[in-house]
Amino acid sequence: MAPAGGLAATHRAIDAVWRIESARIIATVARMVRDVGVAEELAQDALVSALEQWPKQGLPDNAGAWLTAAAKNRALDWLRRSQMLARKHEEIGRELEALGEPMVPPPDEGADDEIGDDLLRLVFVACHPVLSREARVALTLRLLGGLTVDEIARAFLVPEPTIAQRIVRAKRTLAEARVPFEVPRRDELAQRLASVLEVIYLVFNEGYAATAGDHWMRPALCEEAMRLGRILAGLVPREPEVHGLLALMEIQASRAAARLGPSGEPILLLEQNRARWDRLLIGRGLAGLQRVDALGGELGPYALQAAIAACHARAAVAAETDWVRIAALYDALSQRAPSPIVELNRAVALSMAYGAATGLALADTLLAEPALKGYHLLPAVRGDLLDKLGRKDEARAEFERAASLTRNGREQALLLERARRCGEA
């Protein structure tokens, strides 16, 4: 038995390996058993074996291959116990032979040659449109991010039992719907890929601007979303929107250090110290946009948003921002992917390019929009534009309304402070 300090170090190493390798292991096993829920259980069994054996025997040279082989052998045992192997012996044999691997892999076998394909299949299963948005997010973070139920619950400020139920129901839904463990056919790929990208961006946005709680940002979720984006970009390198989304996330994440004050208070974009922006992340994002351009074709919604973010990134100070170009890009985005939120952002861009009155005119057309009825940023934007136009009493009322609608404590304090300043003017 390893000493206490060594045992703790081994457990930390196992946790790190699991976070990196779990998605690939589950993907490999899911191809064999055709059930994501069962695959996760069998992968967890392999993890339990590692927790039992590695502290005694030491970490293997290739920890990921050890876990993969252990999980695959458990999958074969499961197939035998459930008598599926006897009834489907020829079918399974043909599938495994086609994939270029023996029927019974030896315990020390490494990862599959087609692991990228397996992982891509798992991405599309976890983000299948048959699931609700909330279920897709929870299942993706669980299967692809390797996060525990508790970690997901804490990240989204949702009770742990709620997240656990979402994941259980999601796996049951996938099984009952007989969702195939495969990459969609070409005629379905664009629609399904859009669902995958949406889930990844939902995770990122919750980290970038938390909807509730006492912290404005949750950097771990941003990091997880970017990690998933990089995996996806490696799996489907010729899909422009994948690179567009990754570029968007990297450029936005570059501002993280400048978005919070000493006490964790929000600092708005135009007030940030741009010297604190991460130039490495900006460089990666701009390189991603170059890959989008190289692939050709019309820019998609994520690439357009990345191009908007790039305009901010290229401006050394806020005054140098090319707002006319940003407004033009928002015009293109509103044509490509129209939505009330895009229109609200376009109103801000128009106000910066052509004056607050122009932006307010567009923002006012959104007041009757049902989708924005409880959206705090509509009154926040109107408050800002009214403030710039000198209509202080109206601006104060809008900031107070925005503060009453947000569930984020930091953002609420910022809005109330702006309302107070309007009241004193």
Average pLDDT value for residue range 369-390: 95
Q: Is residue 249 part of a domain?
A: yes
Do 15 and 136 have their domain in common? no
Q: Is residue 120 part of a domain?
A: no
Average pLDDT value for residue range 275-285: 97
Please write the tens of the pLDDT for every residue from 189-204. Answer: 777 898 899 989 988 9
List the beta bridge partners of residue 407.
212
Q: Is residue 345 part of a domain?
A: no
pLDDT the model gives residue 104 = 39
Q: Is residue 414 part of a domain?
A: no
Do 193 and 317 have their domain in common? yes
Q: Is residue 367 part of a domain?
A: no
**Mutual orientation of helices 377-388 and 392-405 as an angle, nearest 10°?**
160
pLDDT the model gives residue 342 = 96
Q: Is residue 355 part of a domain?
A: no
| Joined tokens for residue 112 | 């599959």
Do 209 and 267 have their domain in common? yes
Do 235 and 161 have their domain in common? no
Do 14 and 84 have their domain in common? yes
CA 425/CA 417 separation, integer angstroms: 13
Where is the domain boundary, 259, 293, 321? 321
The residue ranking higher by pLDDT, 359 or 155, is 359
Do 204 and 169 have their domain in common? no
pLDDT the model gives residue 106 = 40
How many structural domains comprise the chain?
Answer: 3
Do 146 and 257 have their domain in common? no
CA 98/CA 62 separation, integer angstroms: 26
What is the pTM assigned to this prediction?
0.78
DSSP H/E element including 131: none
- Contact of 258 with 274, CB cutoff 8 Å: yes
The single-letter DSSP state of residue 407 is E
Average pLDDT value for residue range 204-225: 81
**Structural domain harbouring 278:** 189-321
The confidence band for 102, taking pLDDT boundaries of 50, 70 and 90, is very low
Please write the tens of the pLDDT for every residue from 53-75. Answer: 998 888 888 988 999 999 999 99
Do 204 and 229 have their domain in common? yes
**Letter for the amino acid at 366?**
L
CA 369/CA 361 separation, integer angstroms: 14
Name the percent of the chain lying above pLDDT 90.
56
Do 166 and 206 have their domain in common? no
Q: Is residue 139 part of a domain?
A: yes
> How many C-beta atoms lie closer than 10 Å to residue 187's C-beta?
7
Burial string for 97-123 (b: 16+ CB within 10 Å, else e) reads eeeebeeebeeebebbebbebbbbbbb
**Letter for the amino acid at 387?**
D
Average pLDDT value for residue range 107-114: 38
**Letter for the amino acid at 119?**
L
